[in-house]
């Protein structure tokens, strides 16, 4: 089975119906891993106009023509149409394939196969189509499995970050959740919990700048907002960084978007996601999972732009507190808006599972560390009171 839900030309030639025709590849032997989307049999000269691309074309050669010029045109048109391969059954029309046909197939990059025995084309069609349908079913099962894992993660309290990490791990590419206007909410790389250097740096270079577009093959899926007008609340971006995502990855992303839509309908979920992303970054930084040289660029992506002075990290732990829906977002906002912190470069994040609020502040000089620490402690207590704790 091909990863895109079809089968390869190579696999089609191995099936009993075609194998019984003693197939011989005479051109394009290095292109047999092309995906066969469908099988078509035809005997008319303009057969290329009836095809969409990806077909395995079966013919006895009646429509190819006897003149070399016609044979070249026939093959070139099929190659331009993007068919998977041309299979010609030898017999009354062509006891052997004409040189013009073979040479043009080689130059055009079209796999050309000749069958030395007669085979029922209907049997070939049935076998190949059965394989293709089975392949699509297998992809659906894989997408269903990812959807099940994401659903269980939500029911288990893992939240949207866990869903994004499951999707990123499945696709082998970084996944981002953005607001409808392109502001980053959360980045996942499929590795340990929390964003790592690579996805944040990729987002800054490929999504975080005006006019930036994701690389070709990336998957962008709108997360609906649930409004009557069908508005978009957020956008899921599966970036083609390590490799081009496959159709099964798009299917999984579309299903994950449906789950995320439900999550984001809850109060302040976008804010909480962004705060959790900042909390994951600060935790990774504190625990040495981010290289020193990579940290400034990642911090800029998250909105932290201190001067050249020292930094002050602070952690507040909420022992035994259980916040209502939207509570963590409200707490992070309340802390960030405290007057005691005004004028200071500050990055505020949360870690709900551990009950922590994390801050990183930029100082002008080492001498003010103690005074700023007192102001931060006051701001944290005041913010917690504003959030109802």
Domain count, the chain: 3
pLDDT band at 229 (very low <50, low <70, confident <90, very high): low
Same domain as 368, residue 280: yes
Which of the 8 DSSP states describes residue 28? Answer: -
Report the predicted TM-score, pTM, of the whole model to 2 decimal places: 0.56
In a domain, 196, yes or no: yes
Same domain as 51, residue 78: yes
Same domain as 312, residue 202: no
Which of the 8 DSSP states describes residue 215? Answer: P
Using alpha carbons, select from 143, 142, 144, 71 the residue that is nearest to residue 112: 71
In a domain, 151, yes or no: no
- Stretch 167-175: mean pLDDT, rounded? 88
CB atoms within 10 A of CB 41: 17
Judge whether residue 112 has pLDDT over 90.
yes
In a domain, 145, yes or no: no
In angstroms, the CA 65 to CA 208 distance is: 56
CB atoms within 10 A of CB 129: 14
Same domain as 295, residue 260: no
207: domain CATH number?
Answer: 3.30.450.30
Residue 2 has what pLDDT? 47
CB atoms within 10 A of CB 254: 15
Judge whether residue 195 has pLDDT over 60.
no
In a domain, 54, yes or no: yes
Extended beta strands in the chain, E state: 7-8, 23-27, 35-36, 38-41, 55-59, 85-89, 112-115, 175-179, 184-188, 219-224, 232-238, 311-317, 346-351, 356-362
By three-state DSSP, how is residue 120 classified? coil
Identify the bridge partners of residue 375 per DSSP, sorted by sequence position.
Answer: none
Which of 100, 133, 166 corresponds to the end of one domain? 133
Same domain as 238, residue 306: no
**What is the CA angle 174-266-272, rounded to 5?**
50
For the stretch 283-298, pLDDT in tens is 988 888 888 888 888 8
In a domain, 58, yes or no: yes
Which of 265, 292, 321 corresponds to the end of one domain? 265
For the stretch 332-341, pLDDT in tens is 887 888 777 7
The helix (H) or strand (E) run that includes residue 18 is helix 16-19
Judge whether residue 1 has pLDDT over 50.
no
Which of 265, 296, 330 corresponds to the end of one domain? 265
The helix (H) or strand (E) run that includes residue 130 is helix 121-155
Exposed / middle / buried, residue 290 (Cβ in 10 Å: 0-12, 13-18, 19+): buried
Same domain as 176, residue 254: yes
In a domain, 147, yes or no: no
pLDDT band at 191 (very low <50, low <70, confident <90, very high): very low
In a domain, 140, yes or no: no
Tokens 């907002």, residue located: 225
Same domain as 279, residue 194: no
Same domain as 322, residue 255: no
Compute CA 83 distance to the chain's CA centroid, rounded to the nearest angstrom: 27
In a domain, 236, yes or no: yes
Which range marks the domain in which residue 187 is found? 157-265
Same domain as 250, residue 280: no
């Amino acid at each position: 089975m091909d990863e895109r839900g079809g089968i390869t030309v190579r696999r089609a030639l191995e099936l009993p119906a075609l194998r019984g025709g003693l197939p011989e590849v005479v051109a394009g032997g290095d292109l047999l891993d092309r995906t066969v989307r469908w099988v078509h049999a035809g005997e008319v000269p303009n057969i290329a106009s009836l095809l969409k691309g990806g077909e395995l074309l079966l013919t006895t050669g009646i429509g190819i023509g006897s003149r070399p010029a016609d044979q070249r045109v026939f093959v070139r048109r099929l190659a331009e149409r993007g068919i998977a391969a041309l299979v010609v059954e030898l017999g009354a029309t062509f006891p052997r394939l004409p040189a013009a046909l073979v040479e043009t197939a080689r130059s055009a990059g079209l796999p050309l196969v000749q069958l030395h025995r007669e085979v029922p084309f209907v049997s070939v069609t049935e076998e190949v189509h059965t394989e293709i349908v089975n392949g699509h079913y297998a992809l659906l099962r894989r997408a269903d499995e990812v959807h099940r894992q994401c659903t269980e993660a939500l029911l288990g309290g893992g939240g949207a970050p866990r869903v994004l990490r499951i999707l990123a791990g499945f696709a082998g590419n970084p996944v981002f959740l953005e607001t409808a206007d392109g502001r980053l909410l959360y980045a996942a790389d499929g590795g340990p919990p929390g964003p790592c250097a690579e996805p944040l740096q990729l987002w800054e270079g490929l999504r975080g700048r005006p006019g930036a577009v994701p690389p070709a093959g990336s998957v962008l899926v709108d997360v609906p907002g649930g409004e009557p007008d069908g508005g978009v609340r957020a956008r899921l971006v599966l970036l083609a960084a390590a490799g081009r995502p496959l159709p099964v990855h798009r299917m999984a992303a579309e299903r994950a978007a449906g789950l995320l839509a439900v999550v984001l309908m809850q109060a302040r979920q976008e804010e909480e996601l962004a705060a959790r992303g900042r909390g994951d970054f600060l935790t990774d930084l504190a625990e040495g999972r981010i290289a020193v040289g990579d940290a400034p660029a990642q911090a800029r992506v998250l909105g932290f732009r201190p001067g050249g002075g020292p930094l002050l990290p602070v952690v507040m732990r909420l022992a035994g507190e259980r916040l209502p829906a939207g509570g963590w977002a409200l707490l992070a906002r309340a802390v960030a808006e405290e007057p005691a912190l005004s004028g200071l470069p500050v990055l505020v994040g949360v870690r709900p599972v551990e009950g922590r609020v994390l801050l990183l502040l930029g100082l002008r000089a080492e001498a003010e560390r103690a005074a700023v620490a007192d102001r931060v402690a006051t701001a944290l207590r005041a913010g917690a009171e504003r959030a109802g704790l």
